[in-house]
Structure formats: C-alpha cells, structure tokens
Amino acid sequence: MEQKVRVLMQRYELGRLLGQGTFAKVYHARNLLTGMNVAIKVVDKEKILKVGMIDQIKREISVMRLVKHPNVVELFEVMASKTKIYIVMEYAKGGELFNKVVKGKLKEDAARKYFQQLISAVDYCHSRGAYHRDLKPENLLLDENDNLKVSDFGFSVLAESKCEDGLLYTTCGTPSYVAPEVIKRRGYDGTKADIWSCGVILYVLLAGYLPFRDANLMQMYKKIGKGEFKFPRWFAPDVRRLLSKILDPNPKTRISMVKVMENSWFKRGLVKEKPVITNMETKQISPLDAADGVFEVCENGDPIADSKQEQTKPCKLNAFDIISFSTGFDLSGLFDDDVHKKEVRFTSNKPASIIISKLEEMCNQLRLKIKKKEGGLFKLEGSNEGRKGALGIDAEIFEITPQFHLVEFKKCHGDTMEYQKLLKEDIRPALNDIVWTWQREQQQPQQLQHEGEVQEEQIEAISSQQIS
C-alpha cells in the first residue's frame, strides 16, 4: 500500500519524525514550492496553554527571529492553526553533535573547530541580548558540511527579562552542564552561565565524558559548586589553562567571552564567519510582540492566554528546584553563609485548590490585596503604607507531586522587619491547618524520612530525563 503524503498548510510535505518532547514533535519536511528540506516543530497549543508555557514559546520564537548567524539554526517562518503552532526551521542533516561524542572523544582540531563555532554563535546571541541557558551537545546540530548549529532555544531568555539588579533568577537547563550560580538561586549573569556550559561542552568533546560526574546527584552538585574536576592526561597544558578559567565556580572571576576569543589555543586555525544582519535590526519592534500573533491570530478564535483557570495552576518543580528548596537537600552552604534570607517556605500535602483557597481567605482576613499571575504565582500587597512603602510579597506554589506541594513567600518590596513580623504573627497562624512543615524547622524523624522519600523519587524521575 502506498503511504499517504501529509501536506501541511498546502506548503510543506511532512516526512519522518526527527524527535519529540512533552509538548512538541519535530518532523523532517520539504517545501513544495522550492524543494528545500526543512525541520518543522509542531507545538500542541492546548498543552502549553494548560501548563502556562505561553511565554516560553513566545521567547523561543522571538530569540530565533532576533538571532541570525551561520552557526545558529535559522527560523524561516511560524504558522498557526486552531490547535497547533508550526515553527519552520533550517534542517541540520548531520544530526546532533551528541551522537559523535557518545562514540568517544574527538581529536583536538575537530573539538576546537566545534568550540570556535559554538563561541561565535553564543557570543552573537549575547550581543543581541539573548541567553540560551541550555547549551549541551544534544542541542548542537551539524549540517551537511559538518558545521555546528545551535538549536533548541526553549529555555532562552531576552535581556529585557532581567530583574532590576540586572540578573536572571529562573533555574533551568541540564544539571550536568549548568553553572553553579544557577543552582544557587540567588541571581546570575546569563552571559557567564552560558560560558560555563560552553566550557563543559569543550571538556566533553576532548575527554569523551563529563567533568562533573557522580552516581549521587547531590555529590555531583557539590562538585559543580566547588568546581572540582580532573583533567585527563592527554589534555594539553594550554587547554587545561583555558578550561580552568572557564570552569571557575566564581562567576565574577570566570573568564569573559572576549578573553576566550583572544586565547591562543582558541584562535588556532580560526575561520571567521560574518554574521547575517537580521530584520529585527532595521525595525523598531519588540521581539516579544512579534510572537504574539501566534496566539492571537488563529483560526476560529483560539482560547486566549489569560484564562484564570490556567494561571492558577502551580508550576512543576524540576530537579534544580527540588534540590534547592528541600530542607534535606539545601545547597546554600556550598555558596554562601547568608542567614538573612527574604524567602520562607513550607510544604503541604493538600491539593493546590485548597492551598489557593486558603491563601485567598488569609488575604481577606489580613486585608491584603491579592493578584493572580501565571503559573502558581500570587502578588500580595499590604493596604497600609509602612516605613518603606506598602509591603509587597510574592507567594508561589510549586507542585512536587499532585499530592505534595511547596509554597514560597518572598518579600519583593517594603520593610523587612514589617515583613518578618507579618509572617510570624499573622501569616503562619492563618495557614497552620494546611502546613505540613515550615522549612528548616524541627521535624519528627518520620516526617523527615517521608519528605525525603517523596523528594528523592521526584528527583530521580526528573533527573533521569535531564542528565545525560
């Protein structure tokens, strides 16, 4: 029997499945007009609306539109139907760089060429105000000429997303490649975090294995936090010196991208590519605005993104978050000894709906204004002016399992003493009937054991998907 040809939007003939994730599938396709081979990422719109990933997809599209470079997978166009988003991209015939690494270490010249192309692409992304945040061999593709192409900007972020202190705070990426300051959850520079990941990639290309390895996930994180790794005997002295400067656990003293490109080992045999100027450079338009149409202009009136039901769904924790939030797996001691922390957390074995209802009830009792945001985030504001203005608190609900949640309170503005007094005298007593335990408080051994078992199960499940 002849296989039925699938034609998308009367323009692309869909071919074999190249890969898939929770919310999207990537297909090989052919443009019916030009005959060009492309890759099409098909995103399930209903799924991303339900889990609050709208902004993430918008950022991915915006960054790809903004960054046009010989070593970055090119975005050709974005289309949408009632139920799907179609992201049409350059097809990298050579597959993932990871497939070469699994066969063993690369020769120094080959590893250097890929590293040069990686640094060129990432540096250009940074110059356009974009940070990748999930660099790893699986996200580096090769074209038919064996040239590297950076792909998968799902965790990328634009400079406009920085907080007032100029730092990023979202913990994301793949554990084995992530910078220690990202695990720290105290804010990080996207440029320095990407540089660290590039260093891990270079080590993997030259060694054939990861620099930070341990069967115990916590031990691996400790090694990353302290920058503890060993060089294989075949690493040349100049490579060792460069990697030591890149894999510096202190982001303030870590080598800059400019210094990496000035390094003598890096410049050996370097072929410079001239980046292509993007349309974004000639238009006065916000890149995020450019992605809005994917959700707003759809067939038959698609559901919009500001549904209350979608916004109040709690965020699911990844491996980083579970480790850093947990009382049993607190990593803060690896990085600092700051005891004056602005955030307070508690765990609860109540459903998210009950936790939300209790928060709303508490705010009514304490005369706090409450605003729902995307995910499980709530903004609480005091009705009275304090010593430093009205008190503002972020309350965020995270799902560890459907029956086990973590809630974090964090002061975002106002007086710290007033915040601590409100927590102690009003908020804690008001939430007493839904709280299992407040973080860092004395617990019964059975409680600690059960909490640890739940968290370890979740860490193992998530880590098995994220750690290569």
Q: Please tell me the distance from the alpha carbon of residue 363 to that of residue 382, in angstroms, as a whole number.
A: 9
Q: Is the CB of residue 68 less than 8 Å from the CB of residue 162?
A: no
For the chain, give the number of residues: 468
Q: How far apart are the first and last CA of the chain?
A: 40
41 carries a ligand binding annotation: yes
DSSP state of 121: H
Which one, of 290, 283, 274, lies nearest residue 68 by Cα? 274
DSSP state of 425: I
What is residue 124's three-state secondary structure?
Answer: helix
The pairing of strands 377-386 and 12-20 is unpaired
Beta bridge partners of 343: 410
* 414 Rama class: left (phi>0) / alpha (psi -120 to 50) / beta: left
C-alpha distance from residue 437 to each of 57, 102, 194, 400, 432 (Å): 35, 44, 36, 15, 9
Catalytic residue among 123, 134, 189, 302: 134
What letter represents residue 153's amino acid? F
194 is catalytic: no
Q: Where are the alpha helices (DSSP H) in 263-313?
A: 264-267, 287-296, 308-311
Q: Please tell me the distance from the alpha carbon of residue 58 to that of residue 63, in angstroms, as a whole number.
A: 9
> What is the Cβ-side half-sphere exposure of residue 405, based on CA atoms within 13 angstroms?
24
| Bind-site residues for ATP | 41
| Bind-site residues | 41
Q: Which residues are catalytic?
A: 134
